[in-house]
Amino acid sequence: MSQTSGRGNLFVVATPLGNLGDITFRAVRVLTEADLVLAEDTRAASRLFQALKIPQRQIQSLFDHNEKERLAQIKQWLDQGLNLALISEAGTPLISDPGFFIVKHLRQENYNVIPIPGPSAPITALVASGFPVHPFTFLGFLPRKTGEIKKIFQPLANLNTTLIFFERKNRVIQTLKLAHNVFGDRPFCLARELTKVYEEFIYGNLGQISLDQNKLKGEFTVLIAPGEKNKTSAQELEKIVKPLLAIYKIKEIVRKIEGKVTGWSNKELYSFIQQLNRDKELSAKN
């Protein structure tokens, strides 16, 4: 392992998602030779070392709530010439796991950060899904609150891109329904237990979700295909909405046209219909 100015290196090491056969020769070498390992889950790291028959290393925890506290110690170790390996519980570190704060600050201070590439759940799911791979947008883990998810989805409604994100099994159906409200009816894919014994790709359409919550098990990488149509024009939308204004309230109209128009968020639809209604009332007074 090369060093610059006596400093050690931080190796960002990808580890298997599930199948141990996916570990690279280079990753094994780095983990074997590292002076210290920074791990999101120390117990999972110990099991990995044991399974790969790598001599047990000194393992220190690095997770969301102690990352900032670890920075000074990590810099001290590197200044002492120690080589560190950063691993997540599975896959490529930083993609959805801790490490970004550390890497960002080390780069700013000219420490050596060396990537050791390997398994990555978003890429693994994408290349096997059959959905377009160029371009794609990865969103990581979505926030818990519906309003916050909408804020992430809405700017993407008009982009012709495959969306990829991680979601928990108890929330995935709710999130897919929310995606339908924003994106309209698009194909989706749930990639579960990637590279493991029960690996499965589940397909459906956002406008017709028929999933059994009780049968959804494992870890999910969710993919939503690009929309086949461009955004519904304002002229087309006006033709759809005008006949409904005399019959329904604005909120009811929004619910009725969900999935029938493309590229409009519920908030945008509400504002558009509200303006049409104002124009109608103003025209009636004149």
pLDDT by residue (tens digit) across 117-134? 999 999 999 999 999 999
> What integer best gives the mean pLDDT of the chain?
91
Domain formed by 122-224, architecture: 2-Layer Sandwich (3.30)
* Angle of CA points 34, 37, 42, to nearest 5°: 150
Higher pLDDT, 257 or 280: 257
Query: If DSSP codes are grouped into helix, strand and coil, which group holds residue 113?
Result: strand
Please report, rounded to a whole number, the percentage of residues in the chain having pLDDT higher than 90: 69
What was the pLDDT predicted at 228?
A: 65
pTM of the model: 0.77
What was the pLDDT predicted at 9?
A: 98
What was the pLDDT predicted at 286?
A: 62
Give me the residue label for tokens 């237990």. Answer: 193
Provide φ and ψ at 130, rounded to 5°: 85, 0
What was the pLDDT predicted at 23?
A: 97
pLDDT over threshold 80, residue 20: yes
> Any idea which fold 9-119 has?
Cobalt-precorrin-4 Transmethylase; domain 1 (3.40.1010)
What was the pLDDT predicted at 4?
A: 54
Mean of the pLDDT values across residues 128-154?
Answer: 94
Query: If DSSP codes are grouped into helix, strand and coil, which group holds residue 35?
Result: coil
Mean of the pLDDT values across residues 228-255?
Answer: 84
* Angle of CA points 135, 140, 142, to nearest 5°: 120
Give tens-digit pLDDT for 90-118.
999 999 788 999 999 999 999 999 999 99
Query: If DSSP codes are grouped into helix, strand and coil, which group holds residue 152?
Result: helix
Domain ranges in the chain?
9-119, 122-224, 234-285
pLDDT over threshold 60, residue 205: yes
End-to-end CA distance of the chain: 81
pLDDT over threshold 80, residue 2: no
Higher pLDDT, 260 or 259: 260
Q: Which residues contact 267 (CB under 8 A, 6 or more apart)?
A: 150, 154
Higher pLDDT, 262 or 224: 224
Please report, rounded to a whole number, the percentage of residues in the chain having pLDDT higher than 70: 95
Provide φ and ψ at 270, rounded to 5°: -60, -45
What was the pLDDT predicted at 219?
A: 81
What was the pLDDT predicted at 62?
A: 94
What was the pLDDT predicted at 109?
A: 96
Secondary structure tally for the chain: helices H, strands E: 10, 10
Q: Which residues contact 72 (CB under 8 A, 6 or more apart)?
A: none
